[in-house]
Amino acid sequence: MSTVADAIDAARDAGRGALIGYLPIGYPDLETSIEAAVTLAEAGVDILELGPPYSDPVMDGPVIQEATNAALQAGFRMRDTFTAVREVTARTDIPVLVMTYWNPVVQYGVSRYADHLRAAGGAGLITPDITPDAASDWVTESTRTGLDRVFLAAPSSTDARLEMIVRETTGFVYTVSTMGITGERAQLDAAARALVARLREHGAERACVGIGVSNADHVRSVLEYADGAIVGTALVRALRDGGLEGLAAAARELVAGTARE
């Protein structure tokens, strides 16, 4: 069973959409990043998405790049990923996904990574730069360990690719609201609504929208048609500018946008 799917379904049963919150591991330091993740859980976020810093973050916008660069300069190491997941899952009951580029997983060893993530209490991986047809090792190892594998779907994806993504994804399909990097946008692309509709046609039971979701109005709008909203940049900015208190306030405001009328 998928704890991620269960969390989304529980929110739906409670008359809400799910809120998924992203934070980089190790920013501004490892201990504070762990406290920040726990802060999100305590504020009512349904699923945590923790991102190990990476030196070539092709999908990250400037706010997240700034934070991950600071984490790398502060001495982040791969083992810190599992330390953070272990400590967060010991203190919260919500699923913790790791959002990682694929090269670090390969370098660590796909089987070893899966084993260590499961041992730490992690729920699975979001892999933004690998498609299911290139991820046979991960499909095998995630099936063996019971970890979720969350693949991304973009507005440019063909129907054949969407079919494959829906078939191979567990937990939810990460639905990219607009082409480009992460960051806040004044208005979400209508392409997100159309993409979720296409995913439904291919059998997706759970689709969550990210990229550009940055306030409660965005969350409310996304949840008119999607199962969850994913917020990253706005939370990282809140942590940077307001510390843990500022992060908690921002998270509570976003959670307020998850209620469905």
Could you give the CA distance from residue 150 to residue 124 in angstroms, rounded to a whole number?
Answer: 8
Could you give the CA distance from residue 39 to residue 134 in angstroms, rounded to a whole number?
Answer: 36
Rg (CA), the chain: 17
Torsion over CA: 101, 104, 110, 114 (sign): negative
The one catalytic residue in 13, 31, 49, 148 is 49
Q: What residues contact residue 241 under an 8 Å CB cut-off, 6+ apart?
A: none
Assess whether 201 carries a catalytic annotation.
no
Give the Å distances, CA to CA, from 207 to 60, 80, 194, 236.
Answer: 21, 29, 12, 23
Assess whether 224 carries a catalytic annotation.
no
- Assign 129 to helix, strand or coil: coil
The one catalytic residue in 13, 56, 60, 189 is 60
Could you give the CA distance from residue 91 to residue 142 in angstroms, rounded to a whole number?
Answer: 24
Which positions are annotated as active-site residues? 49, 60
